[in-house]
Amino acid sequence: MGVKIEKWAVAQKKHKLSDKHVQMARELGLNPDKLGKIDNHKQETWKVPLPQFIESIYFKRFKREEPLIVRPLKEIMAENKAKKEKKKKEKAKHEVLEANDSGKTENQEKPISLSAKLKLYKENPRVKVKLESGESFDSILLKESSIFDEAFDFYEKEKVTLSELGFILKKIHPRYTPRRYGCKSLGAIYEKLDGYEVEQTEEAGTYMVVRMRIDKEKE
């Protein structure tokens, strides 16, 4: 995975790759910006076409011809967009509720404690991801990316500090460690994930925080 999903959409169109080949390339950790150096078999005739090259190294790495499940890029991008829209609506709803409830703090319910929230979370069954032997770091992150979504969503905030995310990940996913995904830090993981960005904030001190990535392109 390693790069933003939009770059893969550009590479898919430029190199005429199927969703299957894009996912295989992502699991292999290929860089979409450098595929042009591989996809030049017409100039360098000893090279095989890009799709065949991807299939070849994928089989050598994973001992299978294709991914067990292929997710189209359009589906992933639509899912990311839906997440952003959902969070935007939830934030707007929360702001309206706060405005309506201003001055009525006596009748407000106490917010649920972190321990109580964790208990409720653990009562819900989690879907276990099956990993194959020889999986690359990027492939593992691709399959287990949902745990980082869960950690971010747990706080129901626009920005979450890396220390908060690290704390909750160890609580809800004991096997979590950055090394599992070939990263040196949790921040490096979120920088790899589609839909997130890591930034520094100086609000009440200097912290590194994670937020949903804001698209700079005009819709």
> Is residue 142 within a helix (H) or strand (E), and if so which, with residue range?
helix 137-144
**Coil, helix or strand at residue 161:** strand
- pLDDT(53) > 90: yes
Is this model's pTM higher than 0.95 or not?
A: no
pLDDT at 56: 94
**φ, ψ at 161 (rounded to 5°):** -75, 155
pLDDT at 12: 93
Tokens read off for 198 = 């890591």
CA distance 212 to 190: 10
Q: Across all residues in the chain, what is the average pLDDT?
A: 82
Only one residue has tokens 């599992």, namely 180
CA neighbor of 38 nearest in space, from 126, 131, 28: 28
Alpha helices in 159-211 (DSSP H): 162-172, 186-192
- pLDDT(172) > 60: yes
Residue 175 pLDDT level (bands cut at 50, 70, 90): confident
Give the domain ranges of the chain: 5-62, 111-219
Tokens read off for 32 = 């979409």
Only one residue has tokens 């309506």, namely 100
CA neighbor of 190 nearest in space, from 217, 211, 207: 211
pLDDT at 58: 94
CA atoms within 13 A on the CB side of 22: 25
Percent pLDDT > 90 in the chain is 31
Give 177-189 pLDDT, tens digit per residue: 999 899 999 999 9
Fold of 111-219: Nucleotidyltransferase; domain 5 (3.30.420)
Give 63-122 pLDDT, tens digit per residue: 999 998 899 999 988 888 888 888 888 888 777 777 666 555 545 556 667 777 777 766
